[in-house]
Amino acid sequence: MTNDGIPQSSKSSFHPAYSVSNIKNYVQITLETENVHYASWAELFLNTASAFDVLDHLVPPKDTVIDKDATWKRLDAIVKQWIYSTISVDLLHTILEPGSTAQAAWDRLKDIFNDNKHSRAVLLE
């Protein structure tokens, strides 16, 4: 039995993020370097991640050790696919790094558009 009185075997292991077949139904903006809508794109993306219980893959809770088991890795791959599907090809080539996490991709995009104005200027040139 779990804390809510439901037998463990009766609880579904189906994570809400598995039900998203097209992220563009939720994040209807394609992030591009020329037509910058980073703040809007990020807000839609964070809201969707929160709604589907994967926000911790983008903004991990402070002082929390995350067990990166098979389910975590699968969910992280899903979130990375969501990011990759909602950005331009140029940005994809800029942030794509083999073996990285969704958080790393998220942070690279944030750096491009917010924290590192000089790098963004170079990228746009």
pLDDT tens, position by position, 82-95: 999 999 999 999 99
The reply to whether 12 falls in a domain is no
pLDDT at 123: 60
Plot region of 41 (φ>0 → left; ψ -120 to 50 → alpha; else → beta): alpha
The reply to whether 37 falls in a domain is yes
Distance CA 18, CA 14 (A): 7
- What angle, 0 to 180 degrees and rounded to 10, lies between the N-to-C axes of helices 38-51 and 70-85? 150
Asked if 63 and 84 touch (Cβ cutoff 8 Å), the reply is: no
For residue 31, which phi and psi values (nearest 5 degrees)?
Answer: -75, 125
The reply to whether 64 falls in a domain is no
The reply to whether 107 falls in a domain is yes
The reply to whether 13 falls in a domain is no
The reply to whether 36 falls in a domain is yes
- Domain count of the chain? 1
- pLDDT band per the 50, 70, 90 thresholds, residue 7: very low
pLDDT at 1: 40
pTM for the predicted model, two decimal places:
0.75
The reply to whether 9 falls in a domain is no
Which tens digits make up the pLDDT trace of 31-77? 998 878 999 999 999 999 999 999 999 988 887 777 888 889 999 99
The reply to whether 43 falls in a domain is yes
Structural domain containing residue 110: 22-59+69-124
* 37, HSE (Cβ side, Cα atoms, 13 Å): 15
DSSP helix/strand/coil, 31? strand
